[in-house]
Chains A and B, each alone.
Chain A
Amino acid sequence: MATFCYWICLMLFAVGLYCAVTKRNLIKIVIGIAIMDHAINLFLVLLGYRRGGIAPILDRANLAESGSAPGFAERSVDALPQAMVLTSIVISLAVTALLVALCVRIYEKYGTYDVNELRRLRG
């Protein structure tokens, strides 16, 4: 029943994909790619969520005297997708900056952000 969270995430990805495919302006294409990045990160974290779970960070209060944390592994959400998404968020920033650098260079050289006009150029 709660699968509609996955559906909303898929809709977000579809909005980004539509923008990246049909728009004519380079900046809109970059915005579409950024939306797709957000949707994918959200989807990965959604896959790892446990109902009624706690964050995968130990508190000093949870620590028993023996140095281990009883019951933590049964209540925590999945930490592995979160670790992968943490790096993915910063990578998406670096890739967006690279795309924007490309756009800026194109704008200087040709004076337009329009993809159709850029396609008609020669040299």
Chain B
Amino acid sequence: MKGMSPIVQTVTRWIRAFIVLFGIYVICYGHISPGGGFAGGVVIACGFILLMLALGREACERRYSIRWAGKLDAVGALAFAAVALLGFAAGLYFQNFLGRGESFQIRSAGSIPLGNFAIGLKVSASLFLVVAVLSVLRVAARRPPATEAVKPAETAETVGPEDVPAAGPEAAEAAAAAGARQVGIAPPRAPVGEDERLPRAWARKRRLPTRRRGLGGRR
């Protein structure tokens, strides 16, 4: 996944500190002002996802590995369960075992701030993990390779989201023409519109669904 321009990257690196700081503020003051663990956790996840969108996935992976996101996710969930089980110290499951404290201070309201921290950690790590995992796969080429010698592996590396429409058509012609010469029928047209129907020759060879033959409307 490619990153964005240097302006976006620089600004993101500066702004990200403020976003994460705001998220930590929302988590810490969750029992005094609006917010709490969920809102703060999602804000922190937004900060890290912004960095991933701006730098591209590989550069972000060098800084914050995805495996650690998964581990932090599990640690957050276990921490929340630990807060629940520690309530046994006061006699009941999930009992608020620390003292009540005076209101409007951070160190008040018993185990509620601990619960907020655990939930914030868990939600932020989970959401960062799921968006990072969704960003792995890049579409190599929208048209099928003519033979297996076409080296789809290197198209996978060089093609980013902006390059796909540009590299698509000429690769499509070459691949389709070569495929047609192999199979011995007329080369298939490019499909109507852009919703990526598979061309008939390639799909028939692999027994995949071909273009639908004009049933009903398009909407």
**Complex alpha-carbon distance, A46 and B194, angstroms:** 42
Supposing A67-B103, A97-B131 touch, asked if A111 and B34 sit within 8 A by C-beta, the answer is no
Supposing A67-B103, A86-B38, A94-B126 touch, asked if A112 and B134 sit within 8 A by C-beta, the answer is no
Q: Is B68's CB within 8 Å of the partner chain A?
A: no
Q: Is A51's CB within 8 Å of the partner chain B?
A: no
Check if A111 sits within 8 Å of B134, measured CB to CB.
no
**Complex alpha-carbon distance, A104 and B198, angstroms:** 17
**Complex alpha-carbon distance, A116 and B213, angstroms:** 13
Check if B209 sits within 8 Å of A101, measured CB to CB.
no
Q: Is the interface of B mostly helix, strand, loop or mixed?
A: loop
Could you jot down 26 A-B contacts, CB within 8 Å?
A: A57-B33, A58-B103, A60-B104, A63-B103, A63-B104, A86-B38, A87-B38, A89-B38, A90-B38, A93-B127, A94-B126, A94-B127, A97-B127, A97-B134, A100-B134, A101-B134, A104-B134, A108-B137, A110-B209, A111-B196, A112-B209, A113-B195, A114-B195, A116-B212, A117-B209, A117-B212
B interface with A by C-beta (< 8 Å): 33-34, 36, 38, 42, 103-104, 123, 126-127, 130-131, 133-134, 137, 195-198, 208-209, 212
